């Protein structure tokens, strides 16, 4: 039973962090398509990366809070893995949008 509980906690930490990362990014920025369509210059790109960075920090803080509240190092790993995977994927989409290769 204890192993099942740990697996559940790991899955929760991973999935909640992924969802939180996506929501922070969505709340902070428009979609990659909008970025590709409306970002006109380096100033726009700098603002987009500023917002993305703020969203990434909020995502990592959320992961740390989850792990702290659960008092579990393994949850910390999976929470950060979930946030990191989501941030990598979404960040690459925005990078492609800014480069015009979306």
In total, how many domains does the chain have? 1
Structure-block tokens of residue 4: 């099942």
pLDDT mean across residues, the chain: 85
Q: What is the percent of the chain with per-residue pLDDT over 70, rounded to a whole number?
A: 93
pLDDT for 30 equals 64
Which tens digit of pLDDT belongs to each residue from 42-79? 999 999 999 999 989 998 999 899 888 889 888 889 88
Evaluate the CA torsion angle 85, 91, 93, 95 in order and state its sign: negative
Q: How confident is the model at residue 29 (pLDDT cuts 50, 70, 90)?
A: low
pLDDT for 57 equals 95
Q: What is the domain range of residue 19? A: 2-99
């Amino acid at each position: 039973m204890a192993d099942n509980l740990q697996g559940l906690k790991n899955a929760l930490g991973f999935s909640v962090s992924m969802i939180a990362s996506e929501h922070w990014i969505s709340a902070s920025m428009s979609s990659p398509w909008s970025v590709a369509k409306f970002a006109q210059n380096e100033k726009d790109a700098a603002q987009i990366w500023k917002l993305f960075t703020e969203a990434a920090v909020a995502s990592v803080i959320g992961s740390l809070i989850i792990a702290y509240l659960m008092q579990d190092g393994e949850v910390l790993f999976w929470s950060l893995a979930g946030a990191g995977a989501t941030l990598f994927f979404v960040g690459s989409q925005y990078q492609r949008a800014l480069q015009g290769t979306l």
